[in-house]
Amino acid sequence: MNPPQSPVTVADRVVASLYRRAESIAAKVIAPRSPAQDLTPVIDRLLTSRLTGFPIMLLTLGAVLWVTVVGANYPSQVLGRLLFDLQGWLSGAMTAAGAPAWLHGVLVSGVYRTLAWVVSVMLPPMAIFFPCFTLLEDLGYLPRVAFNLDAAFKWAGACGKQSLTMSMGFGCNAAGVIACRIIDSPRERLIAILTNNFVICNGRFPTLIALSTVFVSQVVQTTIGAGAAAALVVVGIVLTGIVMTFGVSWLLSRTLLRGVPSFYTLELPPFRWPQVGRVLIRSVIDRTVFVLLRAVAVAAPAGALVWVLGNTVIEGHSVIAHLAGWLGPLGRLMGLDGFVLVAFILGLPANEIVLPILVMSYLGSGMMVEMDSLESLGILLAAHGWSWATALSYMLFSLLHWPCATTLLTVWKETRSSRWTFAAAAIPTAVAVIVCTFVAGLVRLTGNA
């Protein structure tokens, strides 16, 4: 009966009898869903067909980003105005209490101003993006994305579950790295860990959204048009990161982590209507508040440090200006400047604070410019020689550069290897330097900007 190459072993018979028993119990107690009520096959046909599968994926990503960009704009302005009004009041109170200038500087210009920036720029996009993402998660859409993209992972020599760990990385790369535990093969888990950083995390999204909004709005005028164009730019950056993930995974499975993809299975669960109320609460409390608190906890000391570095003057220049001077040539090679690189280095604890640090160091000491809107950010950056090409280089560097300290620490905890932790920092950094230098060279060659 059975062909010789497929012997049915004793273990098989044991499992088969267990299943028979389970089946007979299930038949007694479970009422099957009538096929007419179950929309899953219909939806699945739409989400995974050759014709509509990929367009729907792109549209979904674009729509979520567009809603985030447009929806975050107004609350961001209101929050910014409120928090900076409070700064004036705080300033006045401290002066009235006779606080020394340095204390006022560290606490108000350093700590408070950075915090206000982080909260007003980050909170609104997070409060919109996370619930949208959690809704998709709850609906059961993510396994379909993994199903659609699997052949690309196979090509790269990686595990198909990597698309799930990447999705997690959209929220937080450290969480994405922990999620790599679902991948059984050590080789494929390492690939997923080392490339997770190429997925833009939530700490970098607001910066991307802010910069693309500022620089796209210089070209496109109407609100809806500019919002859509900015979302398109962000989608482009996200896709660049995904392409990079495949490329680097492919390279790794042919060099450092040689091997072929191993066995794995992917379940496509039935669609469920998400419990909207619970999703909102869960994403706001579990994700938004958690990420924001972490950002705030990191931003406060960083703000103080940056203020001190920016106001400690050695031989006529601040420490930040000295550092920026040294890093200037490397920065300009990549279409950036020294201050940007200093901000990325000082922002190692968390990506959320890189742009605030840059704003602080551009503003320098003493100058009390109110940074309460995206327009004023645009004016400040333009005053420091930024063009759309600088913004593009910045976004690419932000996408590709080394992971934040939390993620690196997580990589070390997961791999227990300083070698792989070093690789997790060195590989993205090398990619960032190469890509940004290439793009900046291209911009120079074509004579733009």
Partner 1 sequence: MARTNEAERKGIGPLALLAPGEAGLVVGLSAGGLVRRRLLDLGFVPGTVLRAVRRSPLGDPTAYSVRGAVIALRAADANNILVRRAPESTGATAAAPDD
Kindly list the residues in this chain that would bind partner 1 in the complex (CB under 8 A). Answer: 1-3, 5-8, 11-12, 15-16, 19, 23, 41, 44-45, 48-51, 53-54, 147-152, 154, 160, 261, 263-270
Which 8-state DSSP code applies to residue 257? T
Shortest distance, position 429 Cβ to partner 1, whole Å: 31
Give 264 or 290: the residue with its C-beta nearer to partner 1: 264
Q: Which helix (H) or strand (E) holds 261?
A: none
Quote the tokens at residue 87.
């700064």
Residues 394, 89: Cα–Cα separation, whole Å:
34
How many other CB atoms are found less than 10 A from the CB of residue 373? 16
Give 138 or 150: the residue with its C-beta nearer to partner 1: 150
Shortest distance, position 133 Cβ to partner 1, whole Å: 22
| CA-based nearest residue to 266, from 140, 134, 155 | 140
Shortest distance, position 282 Cβ to partner 1, whole Å: 25
The torsion defined by the Cα of 437, 213, 176 and 191, in degrees rounded to 10, comes to: -30
Shortest distance, position 169 Cβ to partner 1, whole Å: 22
Give 5 or 446: the residue with its C-beta nearer to partner 1: 5
Give 79 or 146: the residue with its C-beta nearer to partner 1: 146
Give 8 or 219: the residue with its C-beta nearer to partner 1: 8
Residues 191, 194: Cα–Cα separation, whole Å:
5
Shortest distance, position 446 Cβ to partner 1, whole Å: 34
Shortest distance, position 62 Cβ to partner 1, whole Å: 18
**Residues paired with 314 in a beta bridge:** 317
Asked whether 234 and 69 are in contact (CB, 8 A), the reply is yes
φ, ψ at 278 (rounded to 5°): -65, -40
DSSP string covering 367-435: ------SHHHHHHHHHHTT--HHHHHHHHHHHHHSPPPHHHHHHHHHHH--HHHHHHHHHHHHHHHHHH
Give 50 or 416: the residue with its C-beta nearer to partner 1: 50
Shortest distance, position 44 Cβ to partner 1, whole Å: 6
Give 45 or 384: the residue with its C-beta nearer to partner 1: 45
